[in-house]
Amino acid sequence: MSTARPTGAPAPGQLTFVAPRRAKPARHLADLTMAERRAVVAELGEKPFRADQLSRHYFERLNGDPELMTDLPAASRERFTAALFPRLLTSVREQTTDGGTTRKTLWRLFDGALVESVLMRYSDRTTMCVSSQAGCGMNCPFCATGQAGLTRNMSTAEIVEQVVAGARALAANEVPGGPGRVGNVVFMGMGEPLANYKAVVGAVRRLVEPAPHGLGISARGVTVSTVGLVPAIGRLAGEGLPVTLAVSLHAPDDELRDTLVPINTRWKVAEVLDAAWGYAAATRRRVSIEYALIKDVNDQEWRADLLGRLIKNKLVHVNLIPLNPTPGSKWTASRPEDERAFVRRLEFHGVPVTVRDTRGREIDGACGQLAAAE
Ligand code: SF4
């Protein structure tokens, strides 16, 4: 796996909050609200109901190729293909593990940028982990994605297409376990979702709106993660989208968090947690605190106590993540006994805690391992 920085990527230690200016991906049906789709269809000289028809094909039947939409006039299909269905993602490589029920796809975007998505099928649900940026500018030192810097923001449709691709594979019975559907989407692939706010919120709307507007996934099944972009958390709380917010905290004290999550130098732990409680109050959704346990770095019992004191009696749940090894990294997962002690200290404070399973580790598909190398 290469960790070479792409041309124009930031030097280590440099935060790139704003994506570099680059050519944008072409407009796609999934970028648009239903009203915007109708407007485009009218501009093409077609009847407005065609927008509903196209939307049903795409979001209900998961068909993204107008040439296969045989209920459309042949002459219109080409126009719709050009105006609303550009090819956005090209599969470069598929890797599977867990008997085929975990499947990571490497995608090439129109401009050559590479991103990854992971489908994880469990006995009772299927989760898609999607990327929201090509690369990431947050520069967390323990994360493979962060080492490569930010290439660019993804568009709404580029994000939605990852989910639609997973839904297609499930519907086509390509994933062991029989035909199924995507019930959960987590924005935990490449990128900091809230640094690409508009496209991510657009994608969430397409995911949760019922067909023909969108895919009809329950908002309760959608999780948006963030390293703690405080103003964006406040904005998300006002969107009327009761998705789960996952805050990647990784340390309860500013001294350590400044080094593990460099954006902490801008928004401190107390501000991030205040924003999280504001989010919980506005949405009545339990906030998930993500904490990658790193051996001898952030896994001491006193840190578990500090974390417990900061978050006890709140609408919260802690997800401990055994750190996934990344090539050439000095960081490694905590010893099992330290992990158990950390859990016990949080439970002592009455904080609900689980240790996340490490699905996808064998194919570098677990958290902090998506580096999109060919
Ligand atoms: S951990 Fe998340 S926010 Fe940090 S560099 Fe990696 S992808 Fe970006």
Does the pLDDT at position 152 exceed 60? Answer: yes
Confidence of residue 19 (pLDDT cuts 50, 70, 90): low
| Rounded Cα–Cα distance for residues 299 and 275 (Å) | 24
Confirm whether 367 is a catalytic residue.
yes
Ligand 1 proximity of 136 Cβ (cutoff 6 Å): yes
Return the pLDDT at 197.
98
Return the pLDDT at 322.
86
- The rounded mean pLDDT for the chain is 90
Confidence of residue 7 (pLDDT cuts 50, 70, 90): very low
* Backbone region of residue 313 per phi and psi (left: phi > 0; alpha: psi in -120 to 50; beta: other values): left
d(CA 210, ligand 1 centre) in Å: 31
**φ, ψ of residue 15 in degrees (nearest 5):** -95, 130
Residue having the nearest C-alpha atom to atom 5 of ligand 1: 146
Does the pLDDT at position 181 exceed 90? Answer: yes
d(CA 293, ligand 1 centre) in Å: 15
**Is-contact 312 239, C-beta < 8 A?**
no
Confirm whether 143 is a catalytic residue.
no
Query: What per-residue string of b and e applies to 317-331 under the rule 16 or more CB within 10 Å gives b?
Result: bbbbbbbbbbeebeb
Each residue's pLDDT tens digit, 185-222: 999 999 999 999 999 999 999 999 998 999 999 999 99
Residue having the nearest C-alpha atom to atom 7 of ligand 1: 191
Return the pLDDT at 141.
86
Does the pLDDT at position 5 exceed 70? Answer: no
Ligand 1 proximity of 25 Cβ (cutoff 6 Å): no
The residue extents of the domains of the chain are: 29-84, 106-373
- H-helix segments, 44-148: 49-55, 74-84, 144-147
**97-106, 107-116, 306-315, 361-370: range with lowest mean pLDDT:** 361-370
Ligand 1 proximity of 131 Cβ (cutoff 6 Å): no
| Rounded Cα–Cα distance for residues 207 and 205 (Å) | 5
* Backbone region of residue 359 per phi and psi (left: phi > 0; alpha: psi in -120 to 50; beta: other values): beta
**What is the percentage of the chain residues whose pLDDT exceeds 70?**
89
Mean pLDDT of 135-158: 90
The yes or no reply on domain 106-373 and CATH 3.20.20.70 is yes
Return the pLDDT at 242.
93
| Rounded Cα–Cα distance for residues 114 and 284 (Å) | 36
* Backbone region of residue 247 per phi and psi (left: phi > 0; alpha: psi in -120 to 50; beta: other values): beta
Each residue's pLDDT tens digit, 84-139: 999 999 999 999 988 999 999 999 999 999 999 999 999 999 999 999 999 999 99
β-sheet bridge partners, residue 117: 105
DSSP 191: S
Confidence of residue 374 (pLDDT cuts 50, 70, 90): low
Q: Which two tokens stand for residue 286?
A: 């339990």
The yes or no reply on domain 29-84 and CATH 1.10.600.10 is no
